[in-house]
Structure 1
């Protein structure tokens, strides 16, 4: 029987036929077609540049393959979304499709402050689409029959949009618009004559001739390490320390996690030795862009001064967008392997220095070892120091550890923190010299993470260890490594950041050289004159570049009176039997210190005051226990303060520096007073404007960083000769010099150190 199809059924069938569907989504009028073309061209140019940053170092075939595959994936995914949105009938599906694809590509390209990134992407999409639509309509003659007003309006719109896009392009290309200004350089804050040093500048080359050599595991994926005289090492099995090592990563590097190489670049002094051993390790970067050569400047310097420096290759643990499907299949938990590999390198060096015929036979001082880490490497060295003391691997106790090297010193450069926590616990270090360096304009590790580890590093009483950190105004993340340089992001994402307000590269390297070399001289060679640099940066003012610094310091010669970590009672001290009293403050409490991008890891006293009403002068008193604290005329009163007033940038320059009165009182009521500025005024909070102006407010880092103060008891005695330093009973902080403000105070103590061997 013949099947009869009604007219209504035929209409339904025709409506959903492939021919009709293609007809409905295919044609675009001249405006929308121009929008698609313009937006596609702009996005494709940015995409090709960005994928070159990600994949260009792999060679043309990998670059082409990876770019095409990821583009196809984005087009497919956004095409599906565009089809789902077709019901809205607001815009042609093809434009919606390409708009969504452009959004995804631009979002992955401009890796910067999220609000600014979203604003920029929306602006590019809208302006490119508008300009393309208007130009295409002009080309197709759509305005020939239009009125004069419509022609003028359309032409002005196209011209205005083009000009705005040019302005945006110029803004993106420029490094920034502001000059680097240092309100309170160290050299103007620390001017006292007693800061003159008689030792040489630690950033100047020493007396040793420098030689270099490389070592690697065979066969090596690093052809640049195959120089003459190369030493050969065995691979190590790191499969227990990483997860999700893909077959593509194995194909890229030629090995899997079970055969990790031990590769290094070595700079060493020509001589008999033995010389202290220093290992330095980079952080996360593109895996195919080798980061370890970026510390050659330190290798040359330290080797000339009598150290063996090894720059460790851990590039194969870094991000590899090609092998990780950009971000969707990333290597997992590799921070554990970064630290463990350092200890495996030390095992190799221990073997070499005890093997006759090896070029380093009897030349390595394994009793004086330092680890330096940059970025994730800064966390790797703390992991290595923690593993070094353990007998088993915390994440798998079936794996035994037996390292126990004499790691005396570790230096974290812009280090991360707590990306890896053994057994779920933050790493605590004991009796090791610790130094953290960080820049106020770090556009990668934005917050000062190294301060967390500083407070989790415990220095035992009467030990010769010390800890310190230095916060450097204007320093960024990458310029401590010459391969990373001035840009902390990847590719076009760098165009959003404010690189004009950074220290010059050579100045940041100079700061790193002075501080790292001084620290190693003090801790590995026990030259106490260089320890003075960390007690008071004024001793290094002639060596350091002209910028602002905030530093902190603690050592085993100091008796802690109040760390504010013992309980939540604002009236008690850490030292049993002592007390804390406050009067006339707007705010007085103990709480965790909140950094810009991290939860509080340590506590302090919060003090806020306002003397504008002429009432009682705010005073914060530390009452010592009846048993007293060991002190003498050779003692030093120490404490650290942080400016907690985030509104200082709105004030006059003369008000930004906080001053107050510090007094000590003995049991007989004899009092001596000194101003805080006798040592140094309290500096304002460093403000790192990371995003380009005028959009700097989208990412500004401003956080309290503690500044150490040390008042010699002899200065108090000079102010009042009746003062008996052996019977100090009270320490007071009187807020009578600055009208109002907010500060934090922490780590109040008395230092009683042995006489140092200083030749002033």
Structure 2
């Protein structure tokens, strides 16, 4: 697959007022659109040009169709039959680990009901947030900017914030959102979309981790690693052509993954952090020596 063009379509979908649903996407490494049916198959093209493509990396067609059937049936059970137990599968493919083939999955998920803290669409000022009165600051970063996340073929997917750091030059660089008024995390989860920001040219890039710190109005803090949900996977090298000169586009693109944290489950008897008094969210880049990430849709969402 050259590009995840369907994500641009998903991002354009708007919810009607009062609608209580969600929109979701799934990026599947090694899949090919032709293998979602039994007619086109692996060689969904004609002529000698098809021979330039590296088809060995494609997953088995039956596995791909199994994944499709699981997600379509789960979607229908959720939307038509109201079986909410399938909803987590659209947030995190690991909920289907007992059914799904062992592949690399990257989920995109947006519920209609959420409190958007920062989606970076409101203006071009890096210090402002979407939520009224929110202030964004940073320190010790190599890069901090807001721009469109464009996929191959020039498709604009969404506007997001780009963050880059190098701990050899600046230790404990951070990105922070300070709220004008405290918010409650009771019954909520902290969520955001995250993508690796640099092209994985040789397929050797390493996963990224960093520390998330929540602070309440009384300066009590709760910290946990990104990897409590998952590490951030590097951009997936596609190696579409058998030789590099066959590749007309970049070898990878910044596909986002959905991260979510049930903060209430992170509390213990010694934690002073007040769940109903969230005042600040901070990302501290103190685990992976250097990195580049793309952050979007920092929100509070209802627990499924």
Is 1:540 aligned with 2:90?
no
> Residues of 2 paired with 1:485 and 1:719: CA distance?
56
Conserved in 2, the CA contact under 8 Å of 1:563 and 1:748? yes
1:582 touches 1:621 (CA, 8 Å); kept in 2? Answer: yes
SS at 2:163's partner residue? Answer: strand
Please say if residues 631 and 750 of structure 1, whose CA atoms lie closer than 8 Å, have aligned partners that are also in contact: yes
Once residues 103 and 251 of structure 2 are traced to their aligned partners in structure 1, the CA distance between those partners, rounded to angstroms, is: 17
- 1:570 corresponds to which residue? 126
Bigger proportion of residues as helix: 1
Task: Verify: 1:479 aligned to 2:32, yes or no.
Answer: no
Matched, 1:710 2:260: yes
- CA–CA separation in structure 2 for the residues paired with 1:629 and 1:490: 57
**Residue among 213, 232, 237 paired with 1:687:** 237
Q: 1:712 to 1:719 in 2, by over 3 A?
A: farther
Q: Which residue matches 1:497?
A: 53
Change (3 A) 1:720 1:575: farther
Specify the structure having the higher radius of gyration (Cα): 1
Q: Any stretches of 5+ residues in structure 2 without a counterpart?
A: none
- SS of corresponding position for 1:452: helix
Asked if the contact 1:466–1:556 (Cα under 8 Å) also holds between the matched residues in 2, the reply is yes
Q: Conserved in 2, the CA contact under 8 Å of 1:624 and 1:730?
A: yes
Matches of residues 367-386 of structure 1 in structure 2 within 5 Å?
none
Query: Which of 57, 61, 65 does residue 509 from structure 1 map onto?
Result: 65
Aligned pairs for 1:159-174 (under 5 A) are none
TM-score, reference length from structure 2: 0.94
TM-superposed CA distance for 1:700, in Å, is: 4.9
- Paired with 2:17 and 2:208, the residues of 1 have a C-alpha distance of 32
**Where do 5+ consecutive residues of structure 1 fail to align?**
1-441
Distance 2:23 2:213 in 1: 26
C-alpha distance in 2 between matches for 1:712 and 1:606: 25
Match of 2:183, SS state, is coil
Confirm or deny that 1:528 pairs with 2:84: yes
Distance in 1 of aligned mates of 2:278 and 2:98: 36
- Return closer, same or farther for 1:714/1:569 CA change in 2, 3 Å cut-off: same
The CA distance in 2 between the partners of 1:567 and 1:460, in whole Å, is 24
8 A Cα contact 2:184 2:275, kept in partner: no
Q: CA deviation at 1:694?
A: 6.1
Distance 2:14 2:251 in 1: 28
Contact 1:461 1:558 in 2 (8 A): no
Match of 1:616 in 2: 171
Aligned to 1:519: 75
The number of aligned residues is 304
What does 1:408-487 align with in structure 2 at a 5 Å threshold? 442=1, 446-459=2-15, 463-487=19-43
- Residue of structure 2 aligned with 1:631, choices 185, 197, 206: 185
Q: Tell me, yes or no, if the aligned pair for 2:118 and 2:298 is still in contact at 8 Å.
A: yes
Moved over 4 A (4+): 694-700
* Distance apart, 1:689 and its partner CA: 1.5
Q: Distance in 1 between matches of 2:98 and 2:290?
A: 33
The CA RMSD over aligned residues, in Å, is 1.9
Residue of 75, 83, 108 corresponding to 1:552: 108
The alpha carbon displacement at 1:473 in A equals 0.2
- Render the CA deviation track for 1:92-133: whole Å, top value 9, x for unaligned: xxxxxxxxxxxxxxxxxxxxxxxxxxxxxxxxxxxxxxxxxx
